[in-house]
Structure 1
Amino acid sequence: MAEIKFQLDNRRRGAFKVEEDGKQVGEMVIGLSETTLTVYHTEVDPEKEGRGLARQMLDAMVAYAREHGLQVLPLCEYVHGQFRRHPDDYADVWSK
């Protein structure tokens, strides 16, 4: 079963990481400012694609942004694509 972990360094850079059986199989690289969570890149191991792991990281990231009152700046193609396809789902956090 996949587990999402969040890591943040002292410069407010980090990632949402998805692990299976103790091994990292994907990550969503982010940076934080006082008001904005910027998503730079999302990647899942090729052999694990198609299982919804990127979506799980997206959901965790959006939940984090909502919990902390942040706007999301989606520089990542995957996240930006999801925001464009489902604008009503992300209207409260999407920094256009």
Structure 2
Amino acid sequence: MSEVKLRLDARKRGAFYIEEEGKQVGEMVIGVSETALTVYHTEVDENMSGKGLAKLMLDEMVDYARKHELQVVPLCEYVHVQFKRHPEEYQDVWKK
């Protein structure tokens, strides 16, 4: 199973990402502030499409937001669609 990792710079900008065989195959670009986690973009390598990697990164991002008591601002279309499809699952972290 693919492991989701997080990298953040000193300004708390970065991404959740997945690597397979030393190559990045998925990325969810984020920014973190005092109260919010903004998701800008999610992308999965087209060769890895359909394997649930975007959902893995989504779950990891939501777990991180909950642990750090952050509200998620879903500027990314993928995250916004998932939040709209499953509002009960994400209502505690969704900043509308």
TM-score (norm 1): 0.98
The root-mean-square deviation of aligned C-alpha atoms, in Å, is: 0.6
> 1:16 & 1:65 partners in 2: Cα distance?
12
Match of 1:73 in 2: 73
Q: CA deviation at 1:20?
A: 1.4
Q: In the TM superposition, what whole-angstrom CA distance separates every residue of 1:64-83 from its partner, at most 9, and x where no partner exists?
A: 00000000000000000000
Superposition misfits of 4+ residues, deviation over 6 angstroms: none
TM-score (norm 2): 0.98
> 1:3 & 1:68 partners in 2: Cα distance?
20
Q: In the TM superposition, what whole-angstrom CA distance separates every residue of 1:18-61 from its partner, at most 9, and x where no partner exists?
A: 11122210100000110000000000000100000000000000
Identity percentage of aligned residues: 70
Match of 2:20 in 1: 20
Aligned amino acid, residue 60 of structure 2: A
**Structure 1, gaps ≥5 residues long:** none
Aligned amino acid, residue 58 of structure 2: L
**Structure 2, gaps ≥5 residues long:** none
